[in-house]
């Protein structure tokens, strides 16, 4: 019954979405409000149906309903309760349901927020959203139906991919998809602006907070993905330039560029064409990412299984790009800027430079990701592009971007005078140089590390300079210190939210730099009772034990760690799942602000007399996660409704 | 003029789309196996029925070595009937299908063979040595061995009728000795 019910609801939802998209479009064109209202009702219906599908699938997972093929392939009787829920979106079919559901939620929020406010743009935005939603429902109907009947009903299922049995898996896909789907809304408004010819700033103002929300969730998704990679995959890193990581990173880069270029358009009426293009590019890249992960075109550790879905996605990507760019061509004359760049040394040009670098970074990542395909198409040779390429090209770009992050917010609009530069940047530059000298004195010999450190300090000081100056101005007005600072944050929440996000990025940059420059590792085989040393830590091998879990069997090693004084016992393990050929490593670690201890169990003698282990002391990695928390706070501050100025 | 050239903007997307479309024609999973063209590693195993089976003993025939497992759902379940059907169709023409079950429990393997009604020889690879020799990366993988004992093709994923027939027909058309 469940498969048919679910499939039926998907079909009805698809019909409603198509109807709603057409009704909203026709309503917008003819000005018939009744049609637009009808489209809104259809959107509500779609939301209700997709929600029901999602609930139904979750219920099938919880009750081990193996008559549903998707349930049988992704869970088994041993799967713990918690992972039966995350299993719902653990594979291809479920991820599309989650995606469609989030889109329907965003559509409802769009209706609630903009129904009354933006009469001209809103109906077209709604139509765009519903069309995109219809596409995902089409995928759910024809390409990867989550509700497919399994006959005969197996006695037990295959089980979830063990790597996904992790708490990060509840939040990582959710955050990532909220980010991906979130960019649909700015795209929808951009399309509305192009269709109606109202290319002014209205669509930007309307989508400003949407963009921040989407950007934030995408950042969060990337960070949680990094955390998952770090503590689950057991190679000691958090980012591998894997095609699928790149797929999520590219829209992040162009989305970041968009967040910044918007400010120039608002302030100086410049870059209209650029902004529209960035939105199209960002949304296109989210689709490209989905395509890449699900089409099986490029090999990756994260890839879902493949099928006809790839062709469907590629066709949709083609439709979206050709339509959007066609609209751009149609509105070409209107898109040209009113303002002009006055001087090279100005905030506009710094922002422009930031945009060019972000897009260049996105392009290199794109190029590196599709290069294997290009090489095979042109030369017939299989190649792979690894981390060295990406690092070599991107590290200088990112370092420059961090530098610009200090310059941009403080330099004057239009034309910066020497006086303006001196007033704002004398201290930051001086302290940055001092920081580099201090790092050198402390024994840092890596140029890159010293440079990163100096740049970070420079940027942090610019933020401090700005904040102190603004607080002082308020103190002169007679406010006392704390209310002055708090009031500043709330009154100018967008500006200071941005600053806090910048601080978060700085902290992440330090973490990345530290982990690259100073982490150490070793691999060794120990007999029981023997100890290995690394970076002042002693790891003593105390023995192995075997444990039977509900859906797997695991061998756990015990390693006593000390650095002069005892620090505790680390218990890395190897898990053996019946449905997997290779055992899965279970890393044990001890996080610290300065360094993490990280132990991976390799081969072992079956009598427990010896074991091979990989030991790592990873420096400053925790700061990446701390930076993520700071970034969250900043994004929250920036999203708060803007207070009215004055008073 | 201006009005004309701006319509070229959408064309910018075409090369990228074309490249991605090309991606469907190739599979990143086709990891070129260094074994293709080389002599197939010899192995001897006991089948589930207890009979000894060795690759050496089938020199002169086209041998299809299929690596599978009962937990490999759904791909192995999809291809087993294909293998069975073609084994029945080709066995009289000097073709042998051999199923090597890896990392599996004996009862589960027997149930799989029984449920799907497989009649071609199936053996377990208890120590995993055969799958290591053949560089098996995942299941199912299938190796086509020609009559001179060389691996001529490696197929990753479920074997289809088309793949089986095209490959085996090609190998049967070749002379048995150089």
d(CA A338, CA A320): 28
CB contact under 8 A, B73 and A578: no
B107-159 pLDDT, tens digit per residue, is 888 988 988 899 999 999 887 889 888 988 777 889 999 999 999 998 888 88
Q: How high is the pLDDT of residue A643? A: 57
Closest in B10, B20, B29 to A329, CB measured: B10
Q: How high is the pLDDT of residue A301? A: 45
Q: How high is the pLDDT of residue A293? A: 76
Strand order in the sheet with A520-527: A520-527, A610-619, A595-604, A588-590
Radius of gyration of chain B (CA): 21
User: Quick one: residue A478, left, alpha or beta (phi over 0 = left, psi -120 to 50 = alpha)?
Assistant: left
A277 touches chain B (CB under 8 A): no
pLDDT band at residue B1 under the 50/70/90 scheme? very low
Q: Quick one: which of B122, B125, B134, B79 has its CA closest to B103?
A: B125
CB contact under 8 A, B13 and A297: no
Bridge partners, A561 (sequence order): A539, A568
Cβ partners under 8 Å of residue B36, min gap 6: B151, B152, B153, B154
Half-sphere exposure in the Cβ direction for A442 (13 Å, CA): 11
Q: How high is the pLDDT of residue A624? A: 95
Q: Which residues of A touch B105 (CB under 8 A)?
A: 578
Closest in A72, A370, A579 to B19, CB measured: A370
B2-46 pLDDT, tens digit per residue, is 667 888 888 888 888 888 888 776 655 555 677 888 999 999 999
**Which has more pLDDT, A149 or B62?**
B62
CB within 8 Å of chain B, chain A residues 281-320:
288, 291, 295-299, 310-311, 314, 317-318
CB contact under 8 A, A376 and B10: no
Minimal C-alpha gap between B135 and chain A (Å): 13
Record: fold of A1-151: 1.20.120
Q: pTM for the full model?
A: 0.83
Its ipTM equals: 0.78
* CATH code assigned to A520-620: 2.60.98
CB within 8 Å of chain A, chain B residues 27-66:
27-29, 32
Residue ranges for chain A with pLDDT beneath 70: 295-307, 337-340, 380-382, 384, 579, 581-582, 642-647
Q: How high is the pLDDT of residue A302? A: 46
Q: Are A213 and A182 in contact, with CB atoms under 8 Å apart?
A: yes
Q: How would DSSP label each residue in A452-513?
A: HHHHHHHHHHHHHHHHHHHHHHHHHTT--HHHHHHHHHHHTHHHHHHHHHHHHHHHHHHHHH
Q: What angle do CA A577, A582, A584 make, to 5 degrees?
A: 65
d(CA A452, CA A388): 19
Looking at domain B36-173, its CATH class is alpha beta
């Amino acid at each position: 019954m469940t498969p048919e019910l679910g499939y039926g609801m998907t079909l009805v939802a698809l019909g409603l979405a198509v109807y709603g998209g057409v009704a909203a479009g026709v309503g917008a064109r003819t000005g018939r409000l009744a049609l637009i209202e009808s489209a809104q009702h259809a959107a509500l219906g779609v939301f209700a149906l997709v929600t029901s599908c999602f609930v139904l699938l979750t219920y099938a997972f919880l009750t081990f309903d193996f008559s549903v093929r998707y349930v049988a392939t992704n869970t088994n009787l041993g799967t713990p309760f918690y992972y039966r829920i995350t299993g719902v979106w653990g594979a291809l079919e479920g991820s599309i349901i989650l995606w469609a559901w989030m889109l329907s939620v965003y559509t409802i929020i769009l209706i609630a927020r903009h129904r009354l406010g933006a009469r001209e743009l809103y109906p077209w935005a709604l139509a765009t959203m519903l069309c995109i939603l219809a596409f995902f429902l089409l995928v759910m109907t024809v390409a990867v139906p989550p509700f497919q009947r399994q006959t005969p009903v197996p006695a037990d299922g295959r089980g979830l991919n063990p790597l996904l049995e992790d708490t990060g898996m509840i939040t990582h896909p959710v955050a990532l998809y909220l980010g991906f789907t979130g960019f649909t809304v700015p795209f929808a408004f951009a399309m509305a602006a192009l269709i109606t010819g109202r290319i002014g700033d209205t669509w930007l103002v309307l989508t400003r907070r949407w963009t921040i929300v989407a950007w934030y969730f995408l950042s969060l998704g990337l960070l949680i993905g990094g955390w998952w990679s770090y503590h689950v995959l057991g190679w000691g890193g958090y980012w591998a330039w894997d095609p699928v990581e790149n797929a999520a990173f590219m829209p992040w880069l162009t989305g970041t560029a968009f967040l910044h270029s918007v400010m120039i358009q608002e302030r100086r009426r410049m870059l209209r064409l650029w902004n529209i293009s960035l939105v199209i590019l960002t949304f296109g890249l989210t689709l490209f990412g989905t395509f890449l992960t699900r089409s099986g075109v490029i090999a990756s550790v994260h890839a879902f299984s493949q099928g006809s879905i790839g062709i469907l996605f590629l066709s949709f990507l083609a439709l979206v790009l050709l339509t959007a760019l066609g609209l751009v061509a149609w509105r070409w004359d209107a898109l040209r800027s009113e303002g002009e760049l006055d001087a090279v040394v100005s905030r506009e040009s710094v922002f422009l430079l930031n945009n060019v670098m972000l897009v260049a970074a996105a392009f290199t990542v794109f190029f590196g990701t599709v290069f294997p395909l290009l090489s095979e198409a042109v030369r017939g040779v299989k190649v792979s592009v690894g981390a060295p390429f990406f690092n070599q090209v991107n590290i200088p770009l990112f370092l420059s971007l961090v530098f610009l992050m200090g310059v941009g917010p403080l330099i004057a609009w239009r034309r910066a005078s020497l006086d303006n530069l001196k007033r704002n940047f004398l201290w930051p530059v001086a302290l940055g140089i001092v920081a580099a000298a201090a790092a050198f004195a402390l024994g840092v010999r890596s140029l890159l590390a010293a440079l990163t450190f100096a740049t970070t300090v420079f940027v942090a000081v610019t933020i401090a300079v700005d904040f102190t100056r603004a607080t002082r101005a308020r103190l002169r007005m007679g406010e006392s210190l704390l209310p002055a600072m708090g009031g500043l944050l709330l009154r100018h929440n967008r500006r200071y939210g941005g600053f806090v996000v910048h601080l978060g990025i700085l902290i992440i940059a330090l973490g990345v730099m530290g982990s690259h420059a100073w982490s150490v590792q070793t691999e060794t085989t120990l007999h029981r009772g023997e100890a290995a040393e690394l970076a002042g830590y002693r790891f003593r091998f105390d023995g192995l034990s075997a444990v039977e879990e509900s859906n797997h069997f695991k061998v756990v090693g015990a390693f006593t760690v000390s650095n002069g004084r005892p620090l505790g016992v680390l218990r890395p393990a190897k898990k053996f799942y019946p449905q997997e050929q290779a055992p899965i490593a279970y890393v044990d670690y001890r996080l610290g602000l300065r360094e993490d201890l990280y132990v991976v169990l390799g081969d072992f003698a079956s009598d427990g007399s010896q074991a091979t282990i990989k030991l790592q002391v990873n420096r400053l990695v925790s700061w990446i996660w701390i930076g993520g928390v700071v970034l969250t706070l900043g994004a929250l501050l920036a999203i708060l409704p803007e207070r009215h100025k004055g008073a | 003029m201006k009005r004309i050239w701006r319509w070229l903007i959408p064309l910018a997307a075409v090369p990228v789309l074309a490249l991605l479309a090309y991606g469907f024609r190739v599979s990143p999973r086709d990891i070129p196996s260094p074994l293709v063209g080389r002599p197939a590693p010899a192995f001897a195993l006991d089948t589930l029925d207890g009979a000894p089976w060795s690759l050496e003993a089938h020199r002169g025939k086209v041998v299809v070595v299929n690596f599978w497992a009962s937990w490999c759902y759904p791909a192995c379940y999809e291809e087993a009937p294909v293998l069975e059907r073609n084994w029945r169709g080709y066995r009289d023409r000097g073709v042998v299908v051999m199923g090597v079950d890896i990392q599996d429990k004996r009862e589960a393997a027997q149930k799989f063979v029984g449920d799907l009604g497989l009649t071609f020889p199936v053996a377990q690879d208890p120590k995993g040595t055969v799958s290591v020799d053949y560089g098996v990366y995942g299941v199912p993988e299938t190796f086509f061995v020609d009559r001179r004992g060389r691996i001529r093709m490696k197929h990753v994923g479920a074997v289809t009728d088309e793949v089986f027939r095209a490959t085996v027909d090609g190998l049967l058309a070749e002379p048995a000795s150089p």
